[in-house]
Amino acid sequence: MNRWKTVLIALAVAVPSGALPAAAARSAAAPIENNETQPVYSRADALTQTVFVEVAGVDSDGDGRPDRVAVDIMRPKETAAGLKVPVIMEASPYYAGGNDVPNHVVDLDGSDPAGMEYRRNKFNDLRDEMFGLGEDAATSRATAPPFSGYYDNYFVPRGYAVALVENLGSGRATGCPTTGLDNETAGPKAAVDWLNGRARGFDAAGAEVRADWSTGNVGMIGVSYNGTLPNAVAATGVKGLKTIVPIAAISSWYDYYRANGGVLAPGGYQGEDADVLARYVLTRENGRQVCGALMDRIEHDQDRVSGDYSEFWDERNYLNDVRKVRASVFLVHGLNDWNVKTKQAVQWWDALAKQGVPRKIWLHQGAHFNPFSFAQRNTEWLRQLHRWFDYNLYGLRNGIMDEPQADVESGPNQWAQYASWPLPGTRDVRLRLAAGTDGGNGTLSADRPHGHATETFTDQSARTAEQLAENVTAADPNRLAYLSPVLTKDARLSGTPSVSVRAAFAGGRSPYLTALLVDYGTDTRAYGSVVYGADPVCYGEGVPGDTGCSRLAEHVTATAPYKIITRGWLDVRNRHSASRTEPLREGRFYDFDLDLQPNDYIVKAGHRIGVVLISTDHDYTLRLPAGTTVSVEPGASSVDLPLVGGRSALG
């Protein structure tokens, strides 16, 4: 053992104040070499325990007792002999699976009164993306419950504890789920408090348990809902939470189920809403009886009629409390994620920047996906994540903060690192829309168009946005298209595009204006789908039923003549504010502004950039009776593109 450099508490004391994350005192030290924790502890001999942590001041099920969350812990056996370790925590409402809950009807035109073929069993759809494809789940839970995934195999041998928090209303926890309300946040926050000696925890027999093995330093990580909870807990400013790694995470629940005043679906889950998700994760004992009235209240208050931003949604907006965040943030998001859309990541990223929060970002070409599972990037992910936790939870000077801030995958397996994101040198470029001739497509250019023209399309709800955007060689009565000249060199978008449209609505019920930004040109691209390899790759110590190995994924690519880069939606009745519905005068022209989902995307030389305007977006918006006529004044309309290099990027 003399080859190990041992980090002593005296070294932590000698570090200048503010130079590194504060490290709690420990009576024994973990072995360190090359400023990294080493895999010297046994996963096979690790200690496990379950603690029921009391959520002080929260009684969301109204039983007169504080709610409790169940926390499953795995830690090196040496913690029983004085070793103190930091904790990697994943909180989730999904550990106990989910209920079969039907989604809301979205076909409001009466064409399908029974509703569409609604997606159910959402957790099963997302299990691989969230946790990785590894050992058999049933076998793993039978022999080493419930530590599936890679945290235990990789990090416990390196001197970390892993804590899995079963959130309020799910599994063995008490209380009720609320899809993002403060009581849900209070659950994992209480677990952080318990690890710092500020909350009470009990074993199954009711005896009080203390975390005397914990340094008090906690890092939260997770994908989807499991990544949203770290955002929420960090926004409380709880002491001891040193860092979070939110992957495909929500920063404002309004932007998950709504957009600019309109009712919207997460991609792939048409008709889902806050009440559906709450009922889905309500897996605690007697959940329907105890929490049924609260579920009904959520269904009422979410308001699927107006789609307005309201107090209901404001209480579920973590951006309101970003000033309280004291944890560093390693943010990860898929550029092809249409479930939790990229706006969720970018608005959080930008807000953190204004607060001076230490941060790092990964943007990949996957969809709603855990970067651990990418075959081409698995080793680099583990390297950076390991260093990130070592730096923030052990206080090791390992250089992670000196590395480039942003890792971006611009195409399938085409990764590069950058000093910041959006990429340095990005500037907004305004392109004007101009009417086409003889019924053909319009144009996009930096020049202001001459004359005054009006173009019209008629809304329909049966064709998808992809079908409407695909063929721009011929006129289409259900959309308008505007194309740039052929690019003479690659143009890279990095950030949030926006569209301004002067338009009038008449003769129908659809309130939606949808804008699509399209790359026209044949290419082989990633669209978010993956395929898993046959042979597992091992990343950590295995035990019976938990091999420490996983099958990793590769992008599925497709060659096509176009791709929708990004899109955005507006309920035109909310033209001034997402919080206020205002009636429109039929046939009167108004100015409408809408943001598109952020992206980082290269439009290659020889391609054209297109803006396509439609009303109903079949896969995302409500579907009202067809027939709304939308008239557009292209000369008073434009698109702003965040281009690396600014105007010169267009040649």
The mean pLDDT value of the chain amounts to 91
Euclidean distance between CA atoms 643 and 562, whole angstroms: 19
Higher pLDDT, 477 or 24: 477
Tokens of 136: 């058999």
Kindly indicate the confidence band of residue 573, based on its pLDDT and cuts at 50, 70 and 90. very high
- For residues 56 and 66, the answer to whether their CB atoms sit within 8 Å is yes
638 labelled catalytic: no
Amino acid in position 602: I
The conformation of residue 623, written as its DSSP 8-state character, comes to B
Kindly indicate the confidence band of residue 437, based on its pLDDT and cuts at 50, 70 and 90. confident
Position of tokens 């030290």?
29
Dihedrals φ, ψ of 381, to 5°? -60, -50
Euclidean distance between CA atoms 313 and 301, whole angstroms: 9
Indicate if the pLDDT at residue 597 is higher than 90.
Answer: yes
Kindly indicate the confidence band of residue 111, based on its pLDDT and cuts at 50, 70 and 90. low
Q: Which residues contact 564 (CB under 8 A, 6 or more apart)?
A: 465, 466, 469, 516, 517, 518
Q: What is the CA radius of gyration of the chain?
A: 26
The conformation of residue 379, written as its DSSP 8-state character, comes to H
Q: Where are the domains of the chain?
A: 5-418, 426-526+559-650
Kindly indicate the confidence band of residue 112, based on its pLDDT and cuts at 50, 70 and 90. low
Fold category of 5-418 in CATH: Rossmann fold (3.40.50)
Euclidean distance between CA atoms 602 and 605, whole angstroms: 9
Model's pTM, two decimal places? 0.92
What is the reported pLDDT for 450? Answer: 75
67 labelled catalytic: no
Strands ordered across the beta sheet of 31-33: 5-6, 31-33, 36-37
Element (H, E) at 12: helix 9-14
215-266 residue pLDDT tens: 999 999 999 999 999 999 999 999 999 999 999 999 999 999 999 999 999 9
Indicate if the pLDDT at residue 25 is higher than 90.
Answer: no
What is the reported pLDDT for 2? Answer: 38
What is the reported pLDDT for 35? Answer: 93
Please name which of 559, 475, 482 lies closest in space to residue 524, comparing C-alpha atoms. 559
State the Cα angle at 328 between 326 and 333, rounded to 5°. 130
Position of tokens 């409402």?
93
Indicate if the pLDDT at residue 77 is higher than 60.
Answer: yes
Work out the average pLDDT over 626-645. 97
Please name which of 469, 490, 489 lies closest in space to residue 480, comparing C-alpha atoms. 469
**Three-state secondary structure call for residue 634:** helix
What is the reported pLDDT for 24? Answer: 39
Euclidean distance between CA atoms 421 and 408, whole angstroms: 9
Q: Name the catalytic one among 364, 368, 386, 618.
A: 368
Kindly indicate the confidence band of residue 146, based on its pLDDT and cuts at 50, 70 and 90. low
324-347 residue pLDDT tens: 999 999 999 999 999 999 999 999
593, β-bridge pairs: 500
Name the CATH superfamily, with its identifier, for domain 426-526+559-650.
Galactose-binding domain-like (2.60.120.260)
What is the reported pLDDT for 495? Answer: 98
Position of tokens 């449209």?
501
Indicate if the pLDDT at residue 128 is higher than 70.
Answer: no
Q: Is the dihedral of CA 185, 122, 257, 554 positive or negative?
A: positive
Indicate if the pLDDT at residue 114 is higher than 50.
Answer: no
Indicate if the pLDDT at residue 185 is higher than 90.
Answer: yes
Q: What percent of the chain has pLDDT over 70?
A: 89
Euclidean distance between CA atoms 113 and 136, whole angstroms: 40
**Torsion angle of C-alpha atoms 52, 56, 61, 65, degrees rounded to 10:** 80
Dihedrals φ, ψ of 68, to 5°? -135, 150
Work out the average pLDDT over 72-84. 97
Q: Name the catalytic one among 337, 407, 571, 617.
A: 337
Let me know if 629 is exposed, middle or buried by CB neighbors in 10 A (0-12, 13-18, 19+).
middle
Amino acid in position 373: S
224 labelled catalytic: yes
**Three-state secondary structure call for residue 84:** coil
Q: Name the catalytic one among 224, 373, 484, 615.
A: 224
> Alpha helix locations (H) across 339-452?
342-354, 378-389
Q: 467: how many CB neighbours lie within 10 A of its CB?
A: 13
350-372 residue pLDDT tens: 999 999 999 999 999 999 999 99
Strands ordered across the beta sheet of 328-334: 208-209, 201-202, 47-55, 67-75, 161-166, 85-92, 214-223, 241-247, 328-334, 359-364, 406-411, 414-418
